[in-house]
């Protein structure tokens, strides 16, 4: 436990869109070992309000700095927006099962992210920069406020296609509208993370085209360690914990 429960100093908090924030903290050990798709469990307050820790996927991890990407929608994430440089962050992690790196024979990698669900794909694209496959990110957000600079993805050789519900940026509609924009390669691997209806659509798309894929799930969590069995979701194998058996599952393992 002493390896994975530590306090780290906050380095920077940046607002990157009207609704999205990035929080960076210095955690050299964590930055080294965290794998794309894993999460960290943050105790956002000193007291009991809110009571649970809050899980965040890791957006970036390099040069001793770990960054999370979040939208302050609940009382936990809202508290994080008051963090300042030098504050400490009580972090448990890295936790959970990461994405499986794409096999060498994969010709096309399609990341499909909804809102903050795109966060783990930044770290993922950092880590597979040398992989020769064509890389795409299909990003879906509610409106322009729910989009952010994709420069870093582009630097990693990822082509970005965007859809917004109101059409203020990119294609109008859900991220599934972007499925028809992509020309599938013979060996495609899909990685998705976002709201459950979006991932259900991705699962259906993958089934029709017989594509392999993985999906990262989100649930309210208590322990984050697989102890309380509180975050279980239905899978084809029965109930499985998001925190410990996941958060990454085979796309066709999930039951929507």
**Interface residues toward other proteins, by CB under 8 A:** 1-5, 43, 48-53, 92, 219-220, 222-234, 238-239, 244
Between residues 76 and 113, which has the closer beta carbon with respect to other proteins? 76
d(CA 113, CA 195): 9
Query: Shortest gap between Cβ of 73 and other proteins (angstroms)?
Result: 14
Query: Shortest gap between Cβ of 18 and other proteins (angstroms)?
Result: 24
Query: Shortest gap between Cβ of 111 and other proteins (angstroms)?
Result: 26
Between residues 89 and 122, which has the closer beta carbon with respect to other proteins? 89
Alpha helices in the chain (DSSP H): 28-33, 75-80, 119-127, 151-155, 196-208
Between residues 128 and 233, which has the closer beta carbon with respect to other proteins? 233
d(CA 229, CA 250): 20
CA 80 to each of CA 3, 23, 118: distance values in angstroms, whole numbers, following the listed order? 23, 8, 19
Query: Shortest gap between Cβ of 44 and other proteins (angstroms)?
Result: 11
d(CA 30, CA 27): 5
Between residues 146 and 240, which has the closer beta carbon with respect to other proteins? 240
127: left (phi over 0), alpha (psi -120 to 50) or beta: alpha
Query: Shortest gap between Cβ of 12 and other proteins (angstroms)?
Result: 26
Residues, the chain, total? 256
Question: Half-sphere exposure (CA, 13 Å, Cβ side) for 84?
Answer: 0
Between residues 122 and 223, which has the closer beta carbon with respect to other proteins? 223
């Amino acid at each position: 436990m002493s390896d994975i429960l530590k306090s780290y100093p906050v380095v920077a908090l940046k607002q990157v869109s009207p609704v999205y924030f990035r929080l960076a903290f210095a955690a050299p050990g964590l930055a080294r070992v965290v794998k794309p798709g894993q999460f960290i469990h943050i105790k956002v307050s000193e007291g009991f309000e809110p009571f649970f820790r809050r899980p965040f996927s890791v957006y970036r991890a390099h040069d001793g700095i770990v960054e999370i990407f979040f939208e302050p929608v609940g009382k936990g994430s809202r508290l994080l927006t008051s963090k300042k440089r030098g504050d400490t962050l009580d972090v448990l992690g890295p936790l959970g099962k990461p994405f499986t790196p794409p096999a060498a024979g994969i010709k096309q990698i399609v990341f499909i992210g909804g809102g903050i669900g795109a966060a783990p794909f930044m770290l993922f694209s950092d880590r597979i920069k040398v992989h020769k496959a064509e890389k795409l990110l299909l990003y879906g957000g509610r409106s322009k406020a729910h989009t952010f600079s994709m420069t870093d993805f582009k630097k990693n050789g990822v082509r970005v296609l965007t859809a917004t519900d109101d059409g203020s940026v990119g294609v109008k509609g859900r991220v599934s509208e972007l499925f028809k924009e992509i020309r599938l390669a013979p060996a495609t691997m899909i990685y998705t993370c976002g709201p459950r209806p979006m991932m259900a659509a991705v699962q259906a798309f993958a089934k029709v085209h017989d594509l392999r894929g993985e999906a990262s799930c989100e649930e309210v969590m208590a322990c984050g360690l697989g102890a309380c069995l509180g975050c279980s979701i239905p899978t084809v194998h029965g109930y499985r914990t998001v925190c410990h058996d996941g958060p990454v599952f085979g796309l066709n393992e999930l039951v929507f």
